[in-house]
């Protein structure tokens, strides 16, 4: 079993030392998309290739990304 620190979407991005603007540019999404992910308004709904790009950019595993999405949604409720 993997033990993961609870981190939200913003935390993953900040851990990777990437600005929201840089993340948006590198993932070819709107800056508002990054804001919406980080606020819990929406969650990443990307194709497999883009999810892989997001994981590489944020230097995280799929499990960390999934946990971050869940943690962000929990904080927004």
Cβ atoms 21, 61 nearer than 8 A:
no
pLDDT score at 21: 97
pLDDT band at 2 (very low <50, low <70, confident <90, very high): very low
In 3D space, the residue among 8, 6, 7, 38 whose CA is nearest the CA of residue 21 turns out to be: 38
pLDDT of 6 reads 77
Task: Decide if pLDDT at 77 tops 90.
Answer: no
Predicted confidence band of residue 71 (pLDDT cuts 50, 70, 90): very high
Mean pLDDT over residues 53-59, rounded?
Answer: 96
pLDDT tens digits for range 4-35: 567 999 999 999 999 999 999 999 999 999 99
């Amino acid at each position: 079993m993997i033990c993961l620190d609870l981190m939200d979407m913003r935390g993953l991005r900040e851990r990777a030392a990437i600005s929201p603007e840089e993340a948006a540019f590198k993932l070819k999404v709107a800056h508002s998309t990054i804001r919406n992910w980080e606020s819990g308004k929406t969650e990443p709904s990307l194709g497999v290739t883009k999810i892989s790009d997001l994981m590489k950019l944020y230097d995280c595993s799929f499990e960390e990304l999934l946990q971050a999405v869940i943690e962000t949604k929990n904080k927004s409720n």
